[in-house]
Chain A
């Protein structure tokens, strides 16, 4: 175990203590205890900057026999994410201390346990090198996210959102697991670095599985990172407390999919399927998210769709960038993706926090009720304008820089002459530009509707005023980062961006990153100018647009698919359950027996196992004909007997005849036991039957009766066939008969002459001991049942 292992486990360990802190120090907000952890982790991680050497995976064996190890691999990409998780985590915890008041019935312990669980799981996802470990942590993040969305679980919408996010992300995660397993089949290892090396050095592998593995892993990534059409869970996840939205649903968890895609770029990058799928889904998400954002009236919903759109942007960049394995010109897309990832975390984090503040101080997030807050909340206003300007892509903030690089990336993509890009590549810049226009428009909506216009105190639940400093601190820090990264982008370039790119593109030429504002009057700048002009035009004419029916529908139309699907699933499940679980013992027995018959029949058919042998049989003594005849006749008569005592005696007769057969077949011990047991059994039956009602004629419908008859004859037939075949084949198999062992060793090893007894009490004494235990349990159960007094109508 290294320090880095403890770094992943630390949040989980901390989570164990949270309930105690919550209980013992009730006056102090639990968040203060939590805050220390991400701060310490962040400071520890920042020592690794700048990352120059390639690290070795630190392996702790977990299930080494199947290649599952808890191995940590901290390279540039992991470090970038780990810093985001701990850094934003610290700010979010600080913010939450002021956001969620320490009231009497506020379950703060739940909140922080879930939050720490998420933090640990997310660190596990980005730091692990083993795919199975990643999967475990991946699903843990889904679970934590779901729990946090449902934090205010008395609200129906919270529960709905939690269930939705859970269902979508977990099913994606499951697909991802299948993809991982396919990778394991191809490469024989679960280690990501091992897999990358495998594909780099081996040209021969099971290629049929390559594309399915890729698709399944992408399914996991797309569901987690809210790519179209799986994005619908993210807007509903906004029911979570705002610190959670800022942390999980914009800065970290939703980027796990992006991490996964970046992580697997060295494996799958350079093939057309990877390029086209990721790029097209990314661009589609980008434009869909930005168009949807304009329709929203809830500030948080705008941010949710904006997050979806920005995630699509980063995804598309990673898709385009994967072409740099073939043409180096595409590398700028990867740089843009990494840079925008950082920028998005800063400006979107601050914006979420600002929206939380507005909600906290005015009681609403509805842009139709808000307005004129500029003068009332000056600090909040200042933070917002920085965040919004950065999101809109305006200089001198960091969003401008990455937006320009994004344009460069898509423009360079058109110059590629691989994967048939020359035919369709011209669409990339067009989509990018249109989506940017819409992005600009929703930025303007957010800004103008909230902070300018008329202040309408009568529509607000609370009297608006500036937030306390504690609440403002975290967004101020993030907003300053927006400015700092905007003015001095090269602070990041060599320290963190270049190492991250080396992990995404490990075999490429050395990356050189220099980010600056002024590139001259190039296409990118003209595109930005166009975005600003056209965006403003759209915003000014928004009134006309909003009358269109398209705008009246706030909910994403895809939700209907999900809701309908879920409803259908429940209905179908209920139907199947009702058909299957009739509550009748007879039906359950029938299912079991029919299934057995079918399975055995199919096995017979499959292995062509039917065989008969009428030659190797021993002769039949005449008296045996009589015994067997009586046995069969008695057996057949039992179902027709209407009198209970007669039925019991008939069954007893079968038992005694069986004992007789045991005598004939050289099994004296069996005969003795059978006689004894049968006697006791008949007495017991008679005792109990004395109290029970008379057997009645079965009032089954004829069809029903026929079914029963067919099933029972089928079962008897099947057993007969098996017996015939087994008998015929018993001399064909090459097993050594182990019985000879008992014959030879009964005397010398156990000192007994009766072999059956020796087996029972000596060679297999443990079996007999457990048998005694079973009898003891049965006896106890019987005593308990006899003594039990059940009142009429009550359940046993």
Chain B
């Protein structure tokens, strides 16, 4: 299963990198969201899959899944959410101000 997950991560990272490199601002934002997904999945995979019960002591299991990566991923998900929300509003404002979301047309600044 680890092999399958690793390959999935590889695909997600490739696609998100491709999206980040495009010209459309929205695709870039989508790419960043996808990259976060890939990273989370990678992190969880690296911690080892299906080893023990969920990290809840009420289960009284003999072994539990590693709780630490889960805690870290949880933090990452929330932070990623905040950043994405900010990016979205920023791209919306950019579009409103410049009437385009094409990064080619957005290059340069007024004082050049």
Residues of chain A whose beta carbon lies under 8 Å from any beta carbon of chain B: 582-586, 589-590, 593, 614, 617-620, 624, 628, 631-632, 635-636, 638-639, 644, 647-648, 651, 654-655, 658, 661-662, 665-670, 673-674, 677, 680-681, 684-685, 688-689, 691-693, 695-696, 698-700, 708-709, 711-713, 715-717, 719-720, 723-724, 726-727, 730, 737-739, 742-743, 746-747, 752-756, 759-760, 764, 767-768, 771, 774-775, 778-779, 781-782, 785-786, 788, 790-796
Is A778 in contact with B17, judged by CB distance below 8 angstroms? Answer: no
Q: A727 contacts B14, CB within 8 Å? A: no
Q: Which residues of A contact B42 (CB under 8 A)?
A: 719, 723
Whether the pair A755, B67 counts as a contact (CB closer than 8 A) is yes
Q: How far is the CA of A685 from the CA of B85 in the complex (A)?
A: 8
A639 to B10, CA, bound (A): 16
**Complexed CA–CA distance, A398 and B66 (Å):** 86
Distance to closest chain B CB from A625 (angstroms):
8
Minimum CB–CB distance for A22 against chain B, Å: 36
Q: In whole angstroms, how far apart are the Cα atoms of A715 and B57 in the complex?
A: 39
For this complex, 17 residue pairs linking A to B, each with C-beta atoms less than 8 Å apart, are: A614-B3, A617-B1, A636-B11, A639-B18, A658-B41, A670-B40, A692-B91, A711-B17, A712-B16, A720-B7, A720-B10, A727-B46, A755-B57, A756-B67, A756-B70, A768-B75, A782-B85
In contact, B33 and A681 (Cβ under 8 angstroms): yes
Q: How far is the CA of A158 from the CA of B27 in the complex (A)?
A: 53
Q: Name the CB-closest residue of B to A743.
A: B64
Knowing that A681-B85, A709-B18, A795-B110 touch, tell me 18 more A-B residue pairs with CB under 8 angstroms.
A617-B3, A618-B2, A647-B27, A651-B30, A665-B44, A666-B52, A667-B55, A670-B73, A681-B33, A685-B88, A696-B24, A713-B14, A716-B17, A743-B57, A755-B55, A756-B67, A782-B85, A795-B111
In the complex, the 4 A-B pairs of residues with the closest C-beta atoms, listed nearest first: A716-B14, A720-B10, A583-B107, A778-B82
Inter-chain contacts of A713 with B (CB < 8 A): 14
- Chain B, 1-38, CB within 8 A of any chain A CB: 1-24, 26-28, 30, 33-34, 37-38
Tell whether, in the assembled complex, residue B6 and residue A727 are in contact, meaning their CB atoms are under 8 Å apart.
yes
Whether B92 and A584, one on each chain, are in contact in the complex, defined by CB atoms closer than 8 angstroms, is no
On whether the beta carbons of B17 and A670 are closer than 8 Å, the reply is: no
Shortest beta-carbon distance from B108 to chain A in Å: 5
Q: Which residues of A contact B52 (CB under 8 A)?
A: 666
- Give the number of residues in B that approach A within 8 Å (Cβ atoms): 89
Are B18's CB and A712's CB within 8 A?
yes
Q: How far is the CB of A226 from chain B (nearest CB, A)?
A: 41
Shortest Cβ distance from residue A635 to the other chain B in the assembled complex, whole angstroms:
5
On chain B, the residues within 8 Å of A661 by CB distance are 41, 44
Given A618-B49, A666-B50: A693 in contact with B57 (beta carbons within 8 A): no
**Could you tell me if A619 and B67 are in contact, using CB atoms closer than 8 angstroms?**
no
With a cutoff of 8 Å between Cβ atoms, the chain B residues found around residue A759 in the complex are 67-68, 71
CB nearest neighbor in B for A796: B97
Tell me, in angstroms, the Cα distance from A779 to B101 when the chains sit together: 23
Q: Is the CB of A644 within 8 A of B89?
A: no
CB neighbours (8 Å) of B54 from chain A are: 666-668
The reply to whether A742 and B81 form a contact with Cβ atoms under 8 Å apart is no
- Cβ contact within 8 Å between B67 and A584: no
Contact: A771 with B56, CB < 8 Å? no
Q: Is the CB of B23 within 8 A of A760?
A: no
Shortest Cβ distance from A662 into chain B, in angstroms? 7
Residues of B within 8 A of A739 (CB): 66-68
**Quick one: which of A589, A692, A737 contacts B95, CB cutoff 8 A?**
A692
Instruction: Give B49-81 as 1s and 0s: 1 = Cβ < 8 Å from A's Cβ atoms.
Output: 111111111100000111110110111011111
In whole angstroms, how far apart are the Cα atoms of A663 and B107 in the complex?
A: 43
Residues of A with C-beta under 8 A to B13: 715-716, 719-720
Contact of B77 among A631, A674, A768, A791 (CB under 8 A): A674
The 8 Å CB contact of B93, one of A586, A693, A724, A785, is: A785
Taken together as a complex, chains A and B put the C-alpha atoms of A658 and B73 apart, in Å, by 12
Assembled-state Cα–Cα distance A635/B57 (Å) = 36
Do A589 and B12 contact each other (CB < 8 Å), given the known contacts A742-B68, A788-B93?
no
Cα(A743)–Cα(B65), bound, Å: 10
Asked if B70 and A670 make an inter-chain contact with CB atoms under 8 angstroms apart, the answer reads yes
Contact of A665 among B20, B50, B109 (CB under 8 A): B50
Q: Is the CB of A730 within 8 A of B46?
A: yes
In the complex, the answer to whether B44 meets A662 with C-beta atoms within 8 Å is yes
